[in-house]
Amino acid sequence: MIREVFNSIAIKLGFIVDPTVEPNFRNQARKRNFSIFIALIIHLISAPYLWGTACLIQGGIGVPCPTCGTTRAIEALIQGEIKEALSWHPLVFLSLFIVIIAVIYSINKEIKKQRAFQANEKWRTIKNGNALQYVFIPVLMIYFIVYLIRIINLYPNPPLNYNSDSALGRIIGLFREYLFNNQ
């Protein structure tokens, strides 16, 4: 079982070829998965230096996203600071739960697919779109409501502060500098 878990993770990250994919597309799928993994690592390393944050939304437009503060909340949670974690993001436990469930679901799906392939059985993906929307939409609504409450109560203070180092913030800064220096 542990070997299957490591194999499924390695397949998802593109380190090994997925034998369930048609031979014509195996290398293409492996390269795509590995490229996504490398791009994510490069982004996580470089984005804080370029934009002041790893968040694509806050790094791009400067405005905090609904999950803003979750990474710092998880860091505080790992250090045992539950009160601080909840101050960074009140839905930190829900976020952590969602990530853990998504990883377990993905690994479980990959293991079942590999087992079906080894048993020479046909693998069919179960389409559970309706069940997913009954979970996804309420969670999305909870995040949006909490986001609105946090914006009203906290903005522009941390963790919901404006990022002037964002791409849009830098463009606005250059535009302001150009306008005021040319008068």
| Whether the Cβ atoms of residue 69 and residue 91 lie closer than 8 Å to each other | no
**93-103 per-position pLDDT tens digit:** 998 998 888 88
Task: Calculate the average pLDDT of the chain.
Answer: 84
Does this model's pTM top 0.85? Answer: no
Assign residue 21 a region: left if phi > 0, alpha if psi is -120 to 50, beta otherwise? Answer: beta
Which CA distances in Å does 166 have to 50, 52, 63, 140, 148?
8, 7, 9, 25, 22
